Amino acid sequence: MRNANLKGSWAFLLALTFAAQLPIGKAYALPVFARQTGQQCIACHISFPELTPYGRYFKLTGYTIGERQWVPLAMMAQEGITSISNNTMPDGSGSVINRDNNPLFAGYSIFLAGKATDYLGAFIQYTYNNVSNPSQPAAQLKGATATDNTDIRAVYKYYQPSEQELNYIYGFTLNNNPTVQDVWNSTPAFGFPFTTSPTAPTPGAATLIDGGLAQQVAGYGVYGYFKKTLYVEFSLYQTADGMLSWMRHGQDANSEARLQGVNPYYRVALTHDWGPHSAMVGAYGINARVYADNNNPSAGTNRFVDNAFDAQYQYITNPHVVTSQFTYIYETQHQDANFASGAASYPTDVLKTWKAKVTYYYERKYGANFQYFDTAGSSDPLLYPAGTPVNGFTAFGSPNSRGQIYELDYLPIQYVRLMLQYTAYNRFNGGSVNYDGFGRNASMNNSLFLNIWFAY
């Protein structure tokens, strides 16, 4: 029976794959930015969402290039199949993930995006997540809607009358995820992988800036890009409360990150383009105080100081494209509240993450990606507790995880991506063999994910 289901599931995906290749005509009716600019997706994207130099310019100028749309809406949806290496709980009591080897509709997003005026534009994403609680039994899976990535910009441009190019772009951003406003794909919000299995197990430790505040905060800042060489930005992040609470709509009030006061974020980048090459080296970081208990502010805060180095290189020709991104994040965790309450073993912990990814595309249609990722830090048995099968940490509380992602992409048309992604772990939540103390090895969490991603 299971085999029959399995065959049917993969046949379903293959049928979708075939359907996606049916000729539906060369369309200019593309997602909202394409409709606004009259350009096709590849003008701005190597392959969505990775940006080309022109795509970065479009974002830096506040999504204002082109003609304002009367219906500035777009949508996207994803459906996929996940298969993990070992889906049996260590004690044989059930499955590790739900709907293994079965097609699963991941969800869809609606975008309100594009140009409002010559100086004002926005990217606002609202998402229905069909698997908002993947760890629950299959019968209890449920969907939820929430505000997703949001970036609203006001922008100004300046050049001397004698100059023949736009040498000064500066603006204001209001967003809900540190680095979502960034235009390089080496930073977390739009970094690789661009999508992953909604159900496969993932490592339990990550730095705060690496998604820890996503869609939970409100940030406002100023940025400038000078002579196509120097980019600087300074922003302040706070809990998205009051009139900004819509920016975290749908988040769980008990588990979301809540910030004390305003918290500084910085970004600096040096860029250089020559011939078909485009390169960037930069740094970014945040210093944030996060409440230990959302319902009890008197429990105090923990302070996270994240400093990151990143770099990006792109070689763009027709038909060959090679791109690469690298980031290294060093986080110092001042566990002031956690240490006092017994939730952390030490007053200070360190967590470091680095990721390196390389991509090749042929004719912007056939792509291959490889990423190596490594998270390591100081062991803390209270912060990274053992005792839970699959998602627990090693007995000595190590946050270390390491692995690779291999991904093949095929875009039969520019707003459909068929993706085959394999994630392999050498280390998971602190160990390689029996990391959770229940007999599970890191490699048992390896996953194969076949996904189809539509945008319109």
Partner 1 sequence: MIKGFAVFVAATTALYCGFSRGDEPTTETKKAAAKVAVELCSFCHGPGGQSISPLFPRLNGQVEQYLVAQMRAIKSKTRADPEASEFMWGMVRSLDDSVIIGLGEYYAKQPPMHGTSKGPAELIEKGKGLFHNGVPSKNIRACADCHGENAEGQYIYPRQIEGASLFPRLAGQHSAYLVRQISVIQSQLRDSPTMHGIVRQLTEDEKQALATYLESI
Least distance (Å) from partner 1 to the CB of residue 174? Answer: 24
Of residues 5 and 117, the one with the C-beta less far from partner 1? 117
For residue 205, give both structure tokens. 């430790």
Shortest reach from residue 119's CB to partner 1, in Å: 13
274 or 295, CB closer to partner 1? 274
In the complex, the smallest distance separating the C-beta of residue 337 from partner 1, rounded to whole angstroms, is 48
Task: Give the pairing type, strands 263-274 and 301-316.
Answer: unpaired
Shortest Å distance, C-beta 414 to partner 1:
9
Q: Shortest distance, CB of residue 60 to partner 1, whole angstroms?
A: 10
What lies within 8 Å, CB to CB, of 146 at 6+ separation is 126, 127, 129, 215, 249, 250, 251
CA distance 258 to 199: 26
The site for partner 1 (CB under 8 A) is made up of 26, 28, 37-40, 42-43, 53-54, 57, 65-67, 157, 159, 163-166, 273-276, 316-318
We find the least distance from the C-beta atom of residue 318 to partner 1, in angstroms, to be 6
Question: What token pair was written down for 267?
Answer: 């970004």
How far apart, in whole angstroms, are the C-alpha atoms of residue 187 and residue 273? 19
Q: What is the spatial distance between Cα 314 and Cα 359, in angstroms, rounded to a whole number?
A: 9
CB of 42 to partner 1, least distance (A): 6
Spatial separation of the C-alpha atoms in residues 42 and 54, rounded to whole Å: 10
| Comparison of 42 and 124: residue with beta carbon closer to partner 1 | 42
DSSP sequence for 388-442: STTT---TT----EEEEEEEEEE-SSTTEEEEEEEEEEEEBTTBSSSTTSSS--G
Q: Please, which residue, 334 or 364, has the CB nearer to partner 1?
A: 364
Return the number of the residue (92 or 161) whose C-beta is nearest partner 1. Answer: 161
Q: What phi, psi does 139 have (nearest 5°)? A: -65, -20
d(CA 114, CA 212): 27
| Least Cβ distance, residue 165 to partner 1 (angstroms) | 4
* 35's tokens: 């409709």
Interstrand relation of 348-362 and 401-410 (parallel, antiparallel or unpaired): unpaired
Long-range Cβ contact pairs of 133-139 (< 8 A, separation 24 or more): 134/97, 134/98, 134/198, 134/199, 135/391, 136/98, 137/94, 137/98, 138/95, 138/98, 138/99
Q: Nearer to partner 1 by C-beta: 11 or 27?
A: 27
Cβ atoms of 257 and 217 closer than 8 Å: yes
Nearer to partner 1, 94 or 276 (CB): 276
Q: Which is nearer to partner 1, 28 or 234 (CB)?
A: 28
Residue 254 or 318 having the CB closest to partner 1: 318
Structure-block tokens of residue 143: 């969907």
Measured from the CB of residue 58, what is the shortest distance to partner 1 in angstroms?
9
